[in-house]
Structure 1
């Protein structure tokens, strides 16, 4: 009987020790969350691509709610719109390519990014079913959509032949 009590006491003390063990890996504190948000803001500000919300999309790209029958691009330069998710492997492969292209074609085109997890309504409005999905928006023509991770050469060809053609 004493042995059972000793074993029960040991098991209980191990459980308390394990539950209170703080490894430092948790970032659920408010200060850690603020620091993470500041880091994300700094990363966003350093990039050449522009992140869009639905409200931004309606004012910078096209107000499809107001005019649902025809496409009317509101921008002053052609654009690529990347519908992506942070967890998506192919999206992670495309992201640095888009950053490079944004730097190479700076002043000639816009490269926008729409996080489909944060902007689910916008993604649904465009029928996004797989990611990455890229919308190529020329100035005076209908936009064209492509799906999947494209190589840099394919992006450059699309930019030169579709977006910047004279």
Structure 2
């Protein structure tokens, strides 16, 4: 009887572990209470810009203006900007989307955008071409870019 109970417990544990559906970065961010969304290259291609399909023309895939923060976990200035981006993501919830790309994990994506210095922040308006800023920008400058460039003074 103990062997059967052990066997059933083992089968149940393995089946529940194997049936786990991986969560998207959006689901993980929401579960953690974060409004900033960490993207993989595949998610970037789908949600932001598929540079493989459209290498010569910027075609934004999003439905709201966006910010993309290219960062690394070991980068001091990146760690300074992270809480500011969290605050801005909450302040501008529903108006813009803020994404993060870990350049160590997504080296191909960073290379495709020529990221040589971090943090590098990409401001993507709904229409038109994105603008790039490098370095740890203060909150006031980020808000100005959001209000004037992304939202057009709205």
Quickly name the TM-score band, shorter chain normalised.
0.7 to 0.9
- 2:106 — aligned with what? 119
Instruction: State the distance in 1 between where 2:89 and 2:45 align.
Output: 21
One of 86, 89, 105 as aligned partner of 2:73: 86
Larger Cα Rg: Structure 1 or Structure 2? 1
Number of corresponding residues? 126
Tell me the alpha carbon deviations over residues 62-114 of structure 1, each in whole angstroms, 9 at most, x when there is no partner.
11100111000000000000000000000000000000000000000000000
Higher helix proportion, which one? 1
Tell me how far 1:47 sits from its aligned partner. 1.1
- 1:63 — aligned with what? 50
4+ runs of 1 displaced by more than 2 Å?
A: 41-46
Q: 1:71 to 1:43 in 2, by over 3 A?
A: closer
- 2:116 — aligned with what? 129
Instruction: State the distance in 1 between where 2:31 and 2:65 align.
Output: 21
Instruction: State the distance in 2 between where 1:116 and 1:69 align.
Output: 23
Instruction: State the distance in 1 between where 2:125 and 2:72 align.
Output: 24
Please report the RMSD computed on the Cα atoms of aligned residues, expressed in angstroms: 1.5
Tell me how far 1:43 sits from its aligned partner. 9.3
Instruction: State the distance in 1 between where 2:132 and 2:90 align.
Output: 22
Instruction: State the distance in 1 between where 2:29 and 2:124 align.
Output: 28
